[in-house]
Structure 1
């Protein structure tokens, strides 16, 4: 499994620490990756079986042939724990979404960040013509440009978003207001799902146990989170472990919305079928 140092992957490390994989008789090797690009290259090269990514990322793999399938949702916005926040620079004076019309927002183009930004701005009443984006793909750089006021607004994932808030940025909107739009997913290569079907099923059982354990007592795993997840220094004591969804899959509506966006952005020539990229077969009973 290729894993970015983000909260979404924490159940894998909880399962590892509690010997859930061992108890189920499977071996799970975790590979720490520094970027989505590195993770995707490993999948492309057939060097990993699975990863935590997002719907649009899975669809990109399946443009020409079915290379991966989504087997579950890793994380979605629950309670007061968003995945992404649109933030205003300290002292920018921007308070509401409508005030973002015509204001360049720091994002990474053609990624889940742009998709979420589009959906949050649309829901807040900012039309297509008034949405202006500035490409800043490197996250720490985007954070610094925001905090220094060199960009007036930016979309950031947590815990970077929480760190920006603690450093004086202002939250304009986050994706808890659109709970059915945002999610990260657990994806496996189609080859792995055929050749290692029982192993993947057991992995998902272990994931489910870890999620149940995490949701019941998140504080117990605080030290593990700080060891495995990149949490900025200014929020290491305050950033809360988010709640995780249980036995969930993206809905056909979620899939369709991402397809519409990707076709509109010319990332796909046409919408891919839900059932070709998402499978029910691996969710625990």
Structure 2
């Protein structure tokens, strides 16, 4: 009996070691990747994938880095400190213009809102004509702002656009009534609304979604398996967010992202979707906007900007 017991223990130990070796081997096959995030709801599936262990389940080590402005994020991406980032179609076009080799790999599910301050009586974008509206220049924020203005019958120059690159600073200026309105992503848009601001219009109401995931071409070519694994983990996070009540994870999200605590109980998340490619029309509209403002020299084709190998 003693011999049999020892033999069984050896077999069990061997199986456990084989499992560990297989796991280690799987992890060894995948390089680590670093992803840049912004203080918006697009970051939440990545936070969930990290904290719930979905990246590890795929044998992938992911470093998430937080940025407060698009300029800081883009500098990190272009300097090689990031493999990929939550970004937007405009940033991809600017990268191409600047000779930086990056590609869009999927849409994200962000939300952008033009919000008037609590003392502002404006009921529509036309009521903001000639007033200070805070944006970040030549970014998705300005693009959405211009689209909202156009939908309301105004030109881009009808608003007195005030450039405040950092999103938290933009929110602070709005709440202190230093500006009439600001375009903000969620969850900071939720904070503004909770503190008395009111919505003028949103990207959802316009039916536009220029937010995307961008990777360097080097990462796409050298870390294809890693990016595939990342998207599998991301999809698991989307499933988690669809089935779990927000109360079960909002404290974790606030802790890991640094979101203001006041979003708790007020934040409404977008309906997160499995990774998909951006529609051609959306890309073409962004390129047309950039060309009309002479911000890029040429009309980039969809296939120059988008790599669809990772999504359906």
Is 1:144–2:144 an aligned residue pair? Answer: no
Structure with greater Cα Rg: 2
Is 1:53–2:87 an aligned residue pair? Answer: yes
Structure 2 CA distance for partners of 1:201 and 1:27, relative to 1, 3 Å: same
Structure 2 residue corresponding to 1:72, chosen from 106, 110, 114: 106
Is 1:131–2:159 an aligned residue pair? Answer: yes
Structure 1 residue corresponding to 2:242, chosen from 196, 208, 215: 215
Q: Unaligned regions of 5+ residues in structure 1, if any?
A: 77-82
Q: TM-score normalised to the size of structure 2?
A: 0.82
In the TM superposition, residue 271 of structure 1 has moved relative to its aligned partner by 1.6
In the TM superposition, residue 13 of structure 1 has moved relative to its aligned partner by 2.0
* Kept after mapping to 2: 8 A contact 1:70/1:277: yes
Structure 2 CA distance for partners of 1:6 and 1:128, relative to 1, 3 Å: closer
* Distance (whole Å) between structure 2 residues aligned to residue 111 and residue 275 of structure 1: 21
**Which digits, 9 at most, give the CA deviation of each residue in 1:12-55, with x for residues without a partner?**
22222232222222222222334332222221111221111111
Q: Unaligned regions of 5+ residues in structure 2, if any?
A: 1-34
**Which digits, 9 at most, give the CA deviation of each residue in 1:243-263, with x for residues without a partner?**
212232211100011101111
- SS where residue 171 of structure 1 aligns? strand
State the partner residue of 1:202.
Answer: 229
Structure 2 CA distance for partners of 1:156 and 1:33, relative to 1, 3 Å: closer
State the partner residue of 2:116.
Answer: 88
Is 1:192–2:223 an aligned residue pair? Answer: no
Is 1:278–2:306 an aligned residue pair? Answer: yes
Structure 2 CA distance for partners of 1:211 and 1:264, relative to 1, 3 Å: same
In the TM superposition, residue 182 of structure 1 has moved relative to its aligned partner by 2.5
Q: TM-score normalised to the size of structure 1?
A: 0.89
Q: Which has the higher contact order (CA 8 A, sep 6+)?
A: 1
* Distance (whole Å) between structure 2 residues aligned to residue 9 and residue 175 of structure 1: 18
Which is helix-richer, 1 or 2? 2
Q: Describe how 1:102-113 pairs up with structure 2 within 5 A.
A: 102-113=130-141
State the partner residue of 2:252.
Answer: 224
- SS where residue 104 of structure 2 aligns? strand
Structure 1 residue corresponding to 2:54, chosen from 6, 13, 20: 20
Structure 2 residue corresponding to 1:178, chosen from 192, 206, 217: 206
* Kept after mapping to 2: 8 A contact 1:6/1:230: no
Q: Which runs of 4+ in 1 moved over 6 A?
A: none
Is 1:42–2:76 an aligned residue pair? Answer: yes
Structure 2 CA distance for partners of 1:66 and 1:149, relative to 1, 3 Å: closer
In the TM superposition, residue 154 of structure 1 has moved relative to its aligned partner by 1.7
